[in-house]
Structure 1
């Protein structure tokens, strides 16, 4: 960490904060060893609602799956471990419903396929019992209403379950006409044929009756916000008034009203007159949690811009810019790739912003534009492996970040299906337990307790030829053979040789009220609580 928050900052709560002790809570869709993962089942978005009573996930197959919190008096975790009595002992989530939000499409004018993958899901807070959800793929945003629907089951029909008499002609012969006979002759035969003695003659008329009423959850698309984005949509954010929302693609930010689907206002347009002059793109955007006129968006250059809708109709230049001073020294090929922001979150009170790029997690005070109040290294040990990460596209992975409800803790994902949970106050004081690495499994502490194995080679990514590696590093010499992996306070090896880059934890969310994290590891959803 480069600099810690001051005494009156986010970290200064009561001065006696203890490190969180994380435990496994639940898992949905857990894989068995060797099970093949379907691409469509991989989770691509995750979000708690404002109350924390519901959780929504989206996947690459275009489905949205909903979970709800239910009352529980304690339950078994694994074989013998039991949740402690207390505030979190009543927390348990169960599957609610799922629906197909998006389907694959094809743009015939531009000749490219539009994937059904869900990029973002957002809850709309409504006073009614119905639940409203915004979801988006690369092009189209949809507003869904999930509501309870009564389905009635009827019985006592006035229809016999046996074969009707008009299908059983005299002699038991087949009731289907012969091709040689005409229509009139067949009808005459059926009229004159006596009734079968096996089928009772209907003498009374019975009225159907309702035997039971079942309540099921149904989903209906209320609005479809389409044809407003030329480039891929990467963000949705609702304003605090719950009436308007913004959507961001690579070059534009549009402002929508929930009730108007055929019109949007373009509030940010970064497209240059000549596309050859394009130097940065928008990567993520988020609304201020308390002010419905303020939002922030981050760019591929690592800058965060905060815009006020009251200042101007078009906010390209009417923004506060939060950007760290450029480090002295030569710039490498990877400088801009590493500084690109993948996620941006406001704290619950709107005082702080949390931004994630590939290498670091940065905490910004909205009143300080010059530099972040704290910088937490996440992938510092991967610097010698940048060429390998680039050749295998891992350097373009977009990791989520999350604030705890009280703003005192942070979380973000990393490789090997692990995530980091950090205490702001603990990191400021240098506590050893303030930065914890947990594995998305039933034993989240397993990765921390293991002694890192010695490295017998690279971590499995192709190296490419030396000329290409040297060109990418602008003449820098190739790194020396990796030493033995050593553990750091966060539990991650210092050189990355023992990390599995094929398994990555990109998406996670922190419960708004308690210390509970939902983390998506491939197609599995894991939940962890801390006490």
Structure 2
């Protein structure tokens, strides 16, 4: 896998999902809400608002090209169901908020999924044989009357004509969050994970479901004094004692679990000084960080707020080392975006496998790829109009005024219902998965 600044030529390789020209007509249950590659990139999991998880598996690489093989259907299962909290008279949605893969240690694969209240641990197992010949259960599944059984049989395994995948829920981590869970992150030790909601972060052991430890609690004694909420949280990829969480105040706190049991005091605070000349009614809303991601080498953090993506050096708290304007052209339309609630959209971001590029989404199904070395950026559109395998998607430019040129999009004609909120980058190859409404787009770079 070689990542060379301007040499990356992106191809739209695959599209998963149904064809719907109007995003407003899409069934809400089909909208993808989470995307995640596993640690070697062989599997790609997606979760939707209907509580379903769909997993794709990479086929063998193309023999005549340097491109990655296609991702084909592997398994699907219903992870969460809609529930009702009778004590608070609240509906609990089945929407999948986060998916996290555990490192593979045997033939089976494990992943965590969460909705607003409950985290579940799922086990995926490839089945090549099926037990048959039971005494009280016929081969077609119906029960046999014990009185009609004349002789005892020894069950045996029969090979399946086609491999099947069995998804089983091994553990449920529930009843620990009063507010909606927004993040789940697995510790580098592989034995613990944390779940974060608006005001608290809990630490769990993957083997224990009936107890957890509260690491962060920012809930004030008087809720009227509440000034910020937790928006995202993640463990350090190498140091099992460190984690970071972002805030609606536009800052990130780095905490060290060795210093104290309750991390109510951070070890480092990453916050960019506010420009007084740019302050407005919307300043607090657009400065709220929607995502935080550690680089794979553990040296940097990537954060995303409404308009910008920033890269922070863990050794420098005062200001980011890199700032990328994702859609600065929207600053003049904040009033309209506030009225249609788009200003509250939570855009996620992702690092490339070697931390040389970052990717994040925008509106009109646009997404931005930034080269950290050359500072070049590429804007592409996730669209079915591009012929698969044959045409390089043209680079897009948003025009604010004047005569529109080729491949330009007028700001006033942008479709804010079409948006790329959830990107994921393959850990070893230049392959990007993007969730846009109910479709999954797979782009990969051809050198």
1:452-471 equivalence runs, <5 A: none
1:211 is displaced (CA, Å) by 6.8
Distance 1:126 1:519 in 2: 24
SS at match of 1:381: helix
Secondary structure of the residue aligned to 2:433 is strand
Secondary structure of the structure 2 residue equivalent to 1:98: strand
1:85 partnered with 2:65: yes
Shift of 1:351: 0.4
1:105 aligns with 2:20: no
The superposition leaves residues 280-309 of structure 1 with CA deviations (integer Å, 9 ceiling, x where unpaired) of 100000110001111000000110000011
Provide the rounded CA distance (Å) in 1 between the counterparts of 2:3 and 2:422.
Answer: 31
Pair 1:414–1:247, CA change in 2 (3 A): same
How do residues 17-416 of structure 1 correspond to structure 2 at under 5 angstroms?
17-31=5-19, 33=21, 36-73=25-62, 85-86=65-66, 88=67, 90-149=68-127, 150-152=129-131, 212-214=159-161, 215-329=163-277, 331-416=279-364
CA displacement, residues 237-264 of structure 1 (integer Å, 9 cap, x when unaligned):
0011110011100000111100001111
For 2:222 and 2:175, the matched residues in 1 are separated by 23
Contact 2:133–2:154 (8 Å) recurs in 1: no
Match of 1:183 in 2: none
- Structure 1's 151 and 16: CA in aligned 2 closer, same or farther, altered over 3 A? closer
Distance 1:69 1:330, change over 3 A: closer
**Post-superposition offset of 1:140:** 0.5
| Mapping for residues 5-20 of structure 1, pairs under 5 Å | 17-20=5-8
Structure 2 CA distance for partners of 1:451 and 1:144, relative to 1, 3 Å: closer
Q: Secondary structure at the match of 1:116?
A: coil
Once the two structures are superposed, the pairs formed by residues 414-429 of structure 1 within 5 Å of their partners are: 414-427=362-375
CA contact (8 A) 1:437 1:492 kept: no
Cα distance between partner residues in 2 of 1:278 and 1:102: 31
1:341, 1:152 → 2: CA distance?
Answer: 51
Q: Which has the larger radius of gyration?
A: 1
The answer as to whether partners of 2:397 and 2:408 remain within 8 angstroms in 1 is no
Shift of 1:426: 1.5
Residue correspondences, number: 420
The one of 476, 494, 498 equivalent to 2:413 is 498
By how many angstroms is 1:423 displaced?
0.5
Q: Post-superposition shift, 1:93?
A: 1.2
When residues 33 and 384 of structure 1 are mapped into structure 2, their CA distance, relative to the original with a 3 A threshold, is closer
Q: 2:149 — aligned with what? A: none
- How much has 1:521 moved relative to structure 2? 1.2
**In 2, Cα distance between equivalents of 1:133 and 1:322:** 31
Q: Counterpart of 1:200?
A: none
RMSD: 2.6
Deviation at 1:33, TM superposition (A): 4.4
Q: 1:441 maps to which residue? A: 383
Name the structure 1 match of 2:401.
483
Residue 511 of structure 1 is matched in structure 2 by 426
Residues 469-489 of structure 1, C-alpha deviations (whole Å, 9 max, x = no match): xxxxxxxxxxxxx7337679x
Structure 1 pair 154/27, CA: closer, same or farther in 2 (3 Å)? farther
* CA contact 1:140–1:226 (8 Å) conserved in 2: yes
CA contact (8 A) 1:439 1:445 kept: no
The change in CA–CA distance for 1:282 and 1:485 in structure 2 (over 3 A counts) is farther
The separation in 2 between residues aligned to 1:25 and 1:15, in whole angstroms, is: 18
- Structure 2 distance, partners of 1:143, 1:235, is 15
Alpha-carbon distance in 1 for matches of 2:393, 2:92: 40
Q: 1:396 to 1:485 in 2, by over 3 A?
A: farther
**Shift of the alpha carbon at 1:16?**
7.0
Partner secondary structure for residue 211 of structure 2: strand
Change (3 A) 1:211 1:369: closer
Residues in 2 aligned to 1:34 and 1:245: alpha-carbon distance in whole angstroms: 39
Gaps of 5+ in 2: 139-152
**C-alpha displacement at 1:32, in angstroms?**
5.1
SS of corresponding position for 2:265: coil
- In the alignment, the residues of structure 1 paired with residue 80 and residue 52 of structure 2 have an alpha-carbon distance, to the nearest angstrom, of 7
- Please give the alpha-carbon distance, in whole angstroms, between the structure 2 residues aligned to 1:359 and 1:416: 15
